[in-house]
């Protein structure tokens, strides 16, 4: 059999590599992330359940969720009837998007304490992530019956109603959340419901509703902030600010006049 000259073989290799590189440069690939690794030392056998729980809390605050889970599991092994630690383990699982495991932890916490409002709320979050908005609302309502002063529960309920396109109920829930904690949406909206809404139109409507609620409370700074977001998301009903009674006070603010005159252009997706 005739052997190809070496330079011909090299040319073929270079041609093949170039073709692969060209193909990759035009491809839209999903890169699989490396598996989560543990960074902390494993729990020691001599640590108490309280020490293990506290270390788990520290690791969870550092976003070392897998390590935190190791410590929570070790704490549970030493004190198996502690619903609080099961709830914390569920939160760590939830942060890693291990929804089935998180749900089991929350259910176990509720089994140990039927009036554990936080765990019931967190179980609702699992349903919300699965877009089972009706089931999520039922869980939030259970949690609110146990703790009606929780702004977070009302905010979550508002998100679920918004997911169902029930805007009036969503507005009522958000209004209650803001009444209990005016700063609640600063912590949740940008990376919570607003970030999860599927379309710019939905996000724009959400931002406009929040702007209206803030204006009604006399919170001009936040109202203007959310109005700008609504405009940047391309909200088509923005001219309602000139007739909706909630914006009556805001219309006297020079910053409102400047914002509406500048008409920030919609930011493309």
Output the domain CATH number for residue 87. Answer: 1.25.40.10
SS3 category, 225? helix
**Residues 246-250: what's their mean pLDDT?**
94
**What's the mean per-residue pLDDT of the chain?**
84
Has residue 229 been placed in a domain?
A: no
Burial class (CB in 10 A: 0-12, 13-18, 19+), 219: middle
Task: Compute, in degrees rounded to 10, the torsion defined by CA atoms 64, 65, 70, 74.
Answer: 110
Has residue 169 been placed in a domain?
A: no
Has residue 268 been placed in a domain?
A: no
pLDDT in tens, 164-196: 989 889 889 988 998 899 888 776 543 334 434
Contact 143, 123 (CB under 8 A): no
**Phi, psi (degrees; rounded to nearest 5) at 258:** -65, -40
Domain range for 100 is 37-114
Work out the pLDDT band at 258, boundaries 50, 70, 90: very high
Has residue 70 been placed in a domain?
A: yes
Work out the pLDDT band at 98, boundaries 50, 70, 90: very high
Has residue 269 been placed in a domain?
A: no
- Which pLDDT belongs to residue 195? 39
**Residues 79-96: what's their mean pLDDT?**
95
The tally of domains found in the chain comes to 1
Contact 60, 90 (CB under 8 A): no
pLDDT in tens, 118-159: 999 999 999 999 999 999 999 999 999 999 999 999 999 998
CA 143 to chain centre: 19
The pair of structure tokens assigned to 172 is: 């009522």
Has residue 127 been placed in a domain?
A: no
Has residue 55 been placed in a domain?
A: yes
pLDDT in tens, 10-34: 444 444 444 444 445 455 655 554 5
Q: What is the pTM of this model?
A: 0.75
């Amino acid at each position: 059999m005739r052997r190809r000259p070496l330079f011909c073989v090299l040319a073929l290799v270079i041609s093949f590599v170039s073709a692969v590189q060209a193909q990759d440069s035009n491809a839209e690939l999903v890169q699989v992330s490396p598996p989560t690794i543990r960074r902390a030392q494993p729990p020691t056998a001599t640590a108490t359940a309280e020490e293990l729980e506290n270390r788990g809390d520290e690791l969870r605050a550092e976003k070392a969720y897998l390590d935190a889970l190791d410590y929570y599991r070790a704490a549970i092994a030493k004190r198996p009837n502690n619903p609080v630690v099961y709830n914390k383990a569920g939160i760590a699982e939830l942060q890693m998007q291990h929804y089935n495991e998180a749900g089991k932890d929350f259910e176990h916490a509720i089994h140990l304490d039927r009036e554990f409002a936080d765990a019931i709320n967190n179980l609702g979050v699992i349903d919300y992530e699965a877009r089972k908005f009706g089931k999520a609302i039922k869980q939030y309502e259970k949690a609110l019956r146990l703790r009606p002063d929780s702004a977070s529960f009302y905010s979550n309920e508002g998100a679920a109603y918004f997911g169902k396109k029930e805007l009036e109920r969503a507005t009522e829930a958000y209004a209650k959340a803001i009444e209990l904690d005016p700063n609640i949406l600063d912590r949740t909206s940008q990376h919570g419901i607003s970030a999860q809404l599927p379309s710019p139109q939905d996000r724009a409507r959400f931002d406009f509703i929040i702007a209206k609620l803030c204006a009604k409370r006399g919170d001009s700074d936040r109202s203007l902030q959310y109005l700008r977001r609504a405009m940047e998301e391309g909200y088509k009903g923005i001219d309602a600010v000139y007739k909706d009674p909630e914006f009556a006070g805001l219309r006297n603010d020079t910053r409102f006049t400047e914002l509406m005159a500048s008409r920030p252009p919609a930011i493309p997706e």
